[in-house]
A = this chain, B = another copy of it.
Amino acid sequence: MTAAVSTGFDFAAYLEAARRQVEAALDASLGPERPESLREAMRYSLLAGGKRLRPILCLAACELAGGEAALAMPTAVALEMVHTMSLIHDDLPAMDNDDLRRGRPTNHKVYGEANAILAGDALLTRAFEMVALRSPGVPAERLLAVVAELSLASGAPGLVGGQVVDLECEGKSVDLDTLEYIHLHKTGALLRACVLCGAQIAGASSELLGALGTYARGIGLAFQIIDDILDVTASSEVLGKTAGKDLTADKTTYPKLLGLDESRRRAGALVTEAKTALTPWSDRAAPLLALADYIIGRDR
């Protein structure tokens, strides 16, 4: 929305309003869960704050495709549930063994390993319940397409596959192709699902879905490059998680392979590529364009 940007699209206000709506929807999503202890463990991580980029991307893509954001809210919540599940499981002692997440003890540190594994499992299935049972007003065909996207992004072809390769590569020297494979699966697949699911709820054309796929690939990789850069340059206090962890775990990162300057340049090029893909829809794309810039400009 080049026009809107020049006429003053207020991204900060947009982001704050969207985040507040998402927080409210997340807070309302886990009412009747039982037993109490399981619901608590699910809520602890789901409501731990965070940027809520994934649900906001979903809502923005739905609006870009001409749909009402409210129709996509249950799916936006589902996407954050899947993301939260992946954080809980990744933090487990058997995986990344992290004690700190978003400035607080990780789920298993508070509730124990068994409950953390089960809270993750419950959030993952709850995500599909949000789409299939709690998305009134959206045709079944579209919801089924969302279920398909969500399952591909969350499982072996996405998140889980990326995490497996990531764990396998720890302590090994990894080339750029493998690093990109890891990030396109571990982070990129779900970000991609966010924009595609949002757009599909609005019944987007295949052209728009294709463009959004390109957009998502660009911001997904850029997001991860920035993550790697921040791990080197920011402190634990700012990040809210253990900084320098990649170095300790001897993980290959973009800065390690390309240096900081080239990593920053590459992230910039990817964001430009992402924004360019949306040119034909630029009159409605202000939020997604600003989100792309936000991702590269963030400091945590």
Contact = CB atoms under 8 A, between A and B. Distances in A.
A42 interface: yes
Interface residues of A, number: 52
A121 interface: yes
A76 B139 CA distance: 25
B156 A33 contact: yes
Nearest to A129: B151
A157 interface: yes
B35 A164 contact: yes
- Kindly report how many copies of this chain are found in the complex they form together: 2
A182 to B, nearest CB: 10
Interface stretch (A89-97, A240-248, A254-262): A89-97
B155 A131 contact: no
Contact of A126 (B132, B156, B165): B156
A125 interface: yes
A163 interface: yes
Contact of A151 (B38, B95, B114, B128): B128
A300 to B, nearest CB: 27
A112 B125 CA distance: 24
A144 interface: yes
A157 B118 contact: no
A187 B257 CA distance: 49
Nearest to A89: B117
Contacts of A164: 35, 37-38, 115, 118
A103 B148 CA distance: 35
B132 A147 contact: yes
Contacts of A155: 121-122, 124-126, 129
A34 B155 CA distance: 10
Interface of A: 33-35, 37-39, 42, 85, 89, 92, 94-95, 112-115, 117-118, 120-122, 124-129, 131-133, 139-141, 143-145, 147-148, 150-152, 154-157, 160-161, 163-165, 167-168
12 contacts: A33-B156, A34-B156, A35-B164, A35-B165, A35-B168, A89-B117, A92-B114, A92-B117, A120-B121, A121-B160, A126-B151, A127-B151
Q: Which 10 A-B pairs have the closest CB atoms?
A: A125-B155, A94-B113, A129-B151, A128-B151, A132-B147, A132-B148, A140-B140, A125-B154, A122-B156, A122-B160
